[in-house]
């Protein structure tokens, strides 16, 4: 049941905005990635990996590589410059479909769908390299640890399993008195097509005494939630969602403007849309209803059915992305029980209280 939901979530992400869901640079949201730029980021990641491999002598052979959670092949294609045969595996059919369409390496690079909580489709000791980055964090730890054990099973002796898995969740660093802000917009009434996205101009004003946002010394981010209510029936629609306020630091008394986008409710009608700010622990950042944005939205039927790439939405049921962390001790134990050995662990934080990003380098005899 869990894997089915995980698959549905990531299949929807793949249908609507695959590249951004894989590499979530804020300004690239809503299909703004240029294909060449997107795949160039994969080359940069694998170049860093290649340097590590050269310096440490692992893997001993470079025949086969597996990219776990490959998405549309950002890293799989980059690995083709270093290995004879590269395989990308993913749980989302929409991702695999696009990976095959975008493949520039022919039979040298292949993609496979995997819908199980193991890697039984691959035999023991079949890969010289297993690589995954920013994937395991989106999988429940119980399942993620099972995949890690599988990495070791399918790894060849003197091969390399390099995988990213956060070792501590973000705690953030909000000031004791908290942060505060207000929202306002230049519009109070708007129309949109059913199964589309509405774009709302939003201004966030810091009404507190402390900066809002994230940089090397501040980790006090905010997000904006939206809620739909049918104006004719009064029914609250269970289609709430949120967008993180851009990471740009907002000093006290200053404002930031950006476009907030929300997917349409499940049926055409007239709705009230409310936007309210919270911190990352979902604590409201204002006590006044006047500091929220309330809009009347007329949702009209689509005159002609459009694709997800045209509308930016493939289903009124919105997908969600999980975020987990697993302690280093737990990962190390699973690797050792599976017959592997941790060679190196690299951990880092972008700012105080942020997620601890951890890369593991493991091998087996």
- Average pLDDT score over residue span 332-361: 95
pLDDT score, position 7: 97
pLDDT score, position 239: 65
Domain locations in the chain as residue ranges = 2-169+323-363, 181-311
Q: What is the pLDDT of residues 137-176, one digit of tens each?
A: 999 999 999 999 999 999 999 999 999 999 999 989 999 9
302 pLDDT band, cuts 50/70/90, is confident
- Average pLDDT score over residue span 122-147: 98
Q: Which of 23-27, 52-56, 164-168, 290-294 has the lowest mean pLDDT?
A: 23-27
pLDDT score, position 123: 98
The first and second tokens of residue 228, run together, are: 């739909």
- Average pLDDT score over residue span 264-279: 94
Confidence check: pLDDT of 222 > 70: yes
Of the chain, the percentage scoring pLDDT greater than 70 comes to 96
CA 310 and chain centroid, separation? 21
Contact (Cβ atoms closer than 8 angstroms) between residue 122 and residue 85: no
Confidence check: pLDDT of 127 > 60: yes
Q: From residue 117, how far is each of 2, 6, 153, 185, 321 by CA, in Å?
A: 10, 11, 14, 45, 18
Asked, colleague to colleague, whether 2-169+323-363 and 181-311 share their fold, the answer is no
pLDDT score, position 318: 74
Confidence check: pLDDT of 363 > 70: yes
- Average pLDDT score over residue span 174-188: 96
Residue with tokens 């993180």: 244
What does the alpha-carbon distance between residue 112 and residue 87 come to, in Å, rounded to a whole number?
7
Confidence check: pLDDT of 57 > 60: yes
What does the alpha-carbon distance between residue 185 and residue 208 come to, in Å, rounded to a whole number?
19
Hey, CA dihedral for 51, 124, 152, 8, is it positive or negative? positive
pLDDT score, position 351: 79
pLDDT score, position 309: 54
What ranges make up the beta strands (E) of the chain?
64-68, 85-90, 109-113, 127-132, 155-164, 181-184, 189-193, 197-206, 213-214, 219-220, 222-230, 236-244, 255-263, 269-279, 293-300, 341-348, 357-363
Average pLDDT, the chain: 93
Contact (Cβ atoms closer than 8 angstroms) between residue 268 and residue 195: no
pLDDT score, position 196: 86
What does the alpha-carbon distance between residue 214 and residue 323 come to, in Å, rounded to a whole number?
18
Q: What is the pLDDT of residues 237-271, one digit of tens each?
A: 866 788 999 878 999 999 999 999 988 888 999 99
What are the backbone angles phi and psi of residue 157, rounded to the nearest 5°? -55, 135
What does the alpha-carbon distance between residue 309 and residue 20 come to, in Å, rounded to a whole number?
13
pLDDT score, position 311: 53
pLDDT score, position 238: 67
What does the alpha-carbon distance between residue 47 and residue 121 come to, in Å, rounded to a whole number?
28
Confidence check: pLDDT of 307 > 80: no
Cβ atoms within 10 Å, residue 329: 9
What does the alpha-carbon distance between residue 83 and residue 97 come to, in Å, rounded to a whole number?
23
Q: Which CATH architecture has domain 2-169+323-363?
A: 3-Layer(aba) Sandwich (3.40)
Beta bridge partner(s), residue 345: 360
294 pLDDT band, cuts 50/70/90, is very high
Q: Which of 53-62, 80-89, 194-203, 315-324 has the lowest mean pLDDT?
A: 315-324
Q: CATH 2.60.40.10: does it fit domain 181-311?
A: yes
Q: Cα(first)–Cα(last) distance of the chain, in Å?
A: 36
Of the chain, the percentage scoring pLDDT greater than 90 comes to 81
Helix residue spans in the chain (DSSP H) = 2-22, 35-56, 74-79, 93-102, 141-154, 308-311, 328-337
Confidence check: pLDDT of 355 > 80: yes
Query: Left, alpha or beta for 353 (phi > 0: left; psi -120 to 50: alpha)?
Result: left
Confidence check: pLDDT of 312 > 60: no
């Amino acid at each position: 049941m869990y894997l089915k939901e995980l698959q549905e979530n990531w299949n929807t992400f793949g249908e609507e905005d695959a590249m951004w869901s894989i590499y979530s640079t804020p300004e690239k949201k809503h299909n703004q990635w240029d294909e060449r730029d997107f795949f160039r980021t994969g080359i940069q990641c694998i170049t860093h990996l290649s340097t590590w491999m050269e310096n440490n002598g692992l893997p001993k052979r470079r025949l086969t590589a597996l990219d776990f959670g490959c998405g549309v092949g950002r890293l799989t294609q980059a690995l083709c410059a270093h290995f004879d045969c590269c395989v990308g595996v993913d749980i989302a059919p929409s991702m695999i479909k696009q990976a095959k369409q975008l493949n520039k390496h022919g039979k040298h690079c292949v993609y496979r769908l995997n819908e199980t909580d193991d890697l039984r489709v691959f035999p023991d000791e079949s890969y010289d390299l297993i690589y995954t980055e920013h994937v395991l964090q989106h999988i429940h730890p119980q399942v993620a640890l099972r995949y890690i054990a599988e990495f070791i099973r399918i790894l060849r002796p003197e091969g390399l399993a390099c995988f990213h898995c956060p070792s501590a969740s973000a705690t953030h660093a909000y000031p004791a008195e908290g942060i505060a802000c207000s929202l306002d917009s230049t519009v109070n009434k708007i129309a949109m097509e059913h199964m589309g996205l509405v774009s709302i101009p939003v201004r966030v004003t810091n009404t507190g005494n402390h900066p809002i946002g994230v940089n090397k010394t501040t980790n006090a981010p905010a997000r904006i939630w939206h809620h739909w209510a049918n104006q004719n029936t009064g029914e609250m629609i269970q289609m709430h969602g949120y967008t993180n306020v851009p990471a740009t630091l907002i000093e006290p008394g200053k404002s930031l403007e950006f476009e907030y986008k929300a997917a349409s409710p499940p049926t055409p009608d007239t709705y009230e849309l409310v936007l309210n700010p919270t911190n990352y622990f979902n604590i409201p950042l204002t006590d006044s209803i006047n500091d929220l944005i309330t809009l009347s939205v007329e949702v009209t039927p689509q005159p002609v059915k459009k694709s997800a790439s045209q509308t930016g939405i493939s289903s009124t049921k919105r997908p969600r992305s999980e975020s987990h962390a697993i302690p280093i001790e737990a990962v190390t134990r699973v690797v050792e029980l599976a017959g592997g050995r941790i060679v190196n662990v690299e951990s880092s934080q972008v700012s105080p209280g942020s997620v601890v990003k951890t890369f593991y380098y493991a091998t087996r005899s």
